[in-house]
Amino acid sequence: MTHALAAAPAARTGQDSVGLLRLYRAELRWIFRRPRTLAVLGLLALIPIVIGVALTLVDPAEANGGGGGGDGALLASAMNNGFILPVAALTMTLALLLPLASAMAGADAIAGEAAHGTLRGWLIAPVGRGRLLAIKAFGVATVSVLAVLAMTFTGFVTGLIISGTDSMFTLTGSTLSVWDALGRLLIVALWITLQLWAVGAVALAISSFTEHPMLVVASVLAGTIVFTILGFLDAVSWLHPFLLNKDWAQAPASVLMDPLDTTLLGEGALRAACYIVIGLSIAYSRLTTRDG
């Protein structure tokens, strides 16, 4: 009897781990059966290709003369530079389109299932609320990872096809090998993925309070726009360090410099981690008191 009691926790632990993996696979099947998920990922993957092709049709003299600042200057630098192209594409879409993908995933994860009546089955099933939230968070994180990787891959391949392997150089003029460029792109991809996880955590928090997925998406995008506007107002400069998208326009470009400066990347990563903790904590608090 003692041996049976001792073996019971181990068996239960094994069942829990297998059950968690099975629930995660089921969540992924649910996510990728949604046509809008596949459509958004496909459109994001096409953006670097469209940008690369468009840059080949632009007169270099006109691009350099009218580059201006911000995204325009980054796009002008991406001409004939296979390293800058994927970074420029990721930076441009980080303003709105990439957060949209994470917001949609977060909205469908809880509010979408509540609207279809399937969330109640999760809540009354013998599945802990923490495990339920973990499955939903992993699903949102998977969508974020795939969105960033799809853009990074198509952008890098497009840059190689258009400009060749000898076009990898930084804004400061130093030449990079293909592997060095890939390493820096991986840093940008990981950093942007972390930002999207933060957006997804906020979406999950809002999603736990409503049964209307579109309300979640609208709230997240509206918050992103408001944060952007606040970032331009010097009167609320004390608030700027707390805005999630504070360094979205500048931090990815840090990998384009030599030597690599990770100051903005580190600050942005820490800020995103705080949003993830707060967002998931709110979602968990709501789920533990929700009946359906």
Q: How far apart are CA 240 and CA 48, in angstroms?
A: 30
Q: What is this structure's pTM?
A: 0.86
Mean pLDDT of 285-289: 84
Phi, psi of 82 (to 5 degrees): -70, -15
| DSSP code string of 75-124 | HHHHTT-TTHHHHHHHHHHHTTHHHHHHHHHHHIIIIIHHHHT-HHHHHH
Question: For residue 259, is the peptide bond before it cis, meaning its omega torsion is within 30 degrees of 0?
Answer: yes
pLDDT, tens digit, 9 for 90 and up, residues 185-227: 999 999 999 999 999 999 999 998 988 889 999 999 999 999 9
Does 16 have pLDDT greater than 50? no
pLDDT confidence tier of residue 18, bands split at 50, 70 and 90: very low
Mean pLDDT of 145-153: 96
Does 259 have pLDDT greater than 50? yes
pLDDT given for residue 9 in this prediction:
43
pLDDT, tens digit, 9 for 90 and up, residues 103-114: 999 998 888 776
Dig out the tokens for 152 from the structure.
């990074």
Could you tell me the CA-to-CA distances from 135 to 19, 98, 131, 197, 283 in Å, in that order? Answer: 11, 21, 6, 14, 13
DSSP class of 175: B
DSSP class of 211: S
DSSP class of 236: G
pLDDT given for residue 56 in this prediction:
84
pLDDT, tens digit, 9 for 90 and up, residues 71-126: 667 777 777 788 889 999 999 999 999 999 999 999 988 887 766 656 555 555 55
Q: CB count, 10 Å around CB of 145?
A: 15
> Which conformational region is residue 70 in: left (phi greater than 0), alpha (psi within -120 to 50 degrees), or beta?
left
DSSP class of 70: T
Mean pLDDT of 249-258: 89
Residue with tokens 């059950």: 19
Greater confidence (287 vs 189) lies with 189
